[in-house]
């Protein structure tokens, strides 16, 4: 059996995912098998999704799981800090209101309560922002590795 992706015209063999259209050449064995299959009265299953969209959606789901469980380890003292998006928002708010030498109570991974300084929050937020940016860009780079800069 075969599937035709309507948006792109790509045809793939269901058993192993071999792409038979577009053609790789006139002697393409996959294409010949596909044509013989059609001559026996078979019809490919239509799929209205774009295979690249399906791949991107899967990568985005994986990306969100990574962001939701993100932690960072401070280089200055090896403290491990939750760094999901909610934690990053809390870090940013506390950085804005704390004085340079102030500290606050913080809940670390595993529900461990301790203190954290403004300086540590700045380091944690910097690390978290960089990691989050890398995670958010990964699905697009995995689908099109030549995409290294934004194109608007």
pLDDT above 90 for 118: yes
Walk across the sheet containing 19-21 and list its strands: 19-21, 10-13, 2-5, 45-47
Confidence of residue 145 (pLDDT cuts 50, 70, 90): low
Question: Residue 44: enclosing H or E segment and its boundaries?
Answer: none
Q: Which residues pair with 105 in a beta bridge?
A: 115
State the pLDDT at residue 51. Answer: 65
* Mean pLDDT, rounded, for 81-96: 96
Share of the chain above pLDDT 90, in %: 50
Please give the mean pLDDT across all residues of the chain: 86
* Euclidean distance between the first and the last CA atom of the chain, given in angstroms as a whole number: 40
pTM: 0.60
User: Which among 46, 25, 128, 144 is positioned nearest to 79, based on CA atoms?
Assistant: 128
- CB within 8 Å of 76: residues ≥ 6 apart: 119, 120, 123
Helix H, strand E, coil C: the string for 66-113 is HHHCCEEECCCCCCEEECCHHHHHHHHHHHHHCCCCCEEEEEECCCEE
State the pLDDT at residue 112. Answer: 95
């Amino acid at each position: 059996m075969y599937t035709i992706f309507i948006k792109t015209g790509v045809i793939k063999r269901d058993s192993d995912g071999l792409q038979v259209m577009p053609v790789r050449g006139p002697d393409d064995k996959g294409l010949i098998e596909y044509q013989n299959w059609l001559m026996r009265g078979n019809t490919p299953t239509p799929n209205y999704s774009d295979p690249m969209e399906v791949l991107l959606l899967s990568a985005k789901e994986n990306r969100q799981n990574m962001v939701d469980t993100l932690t960072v380890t401070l280089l200055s003292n090896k403290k491990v800090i939750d760094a999901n998006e909610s934690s990053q928002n809390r870090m940013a708010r506390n950085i804005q209101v704390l004085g340079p030498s102030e500290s606050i109570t913080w809940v670390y991974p595993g529900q461990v309560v301790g203190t954290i300084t403004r300086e540590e929050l700045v380091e944690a937020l910097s690390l978290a922002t960089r990691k989050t940016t890398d995670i958010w860009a990964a699905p697009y780079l995995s689908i099109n590795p030549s995409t290294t800069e934004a194109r608007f």
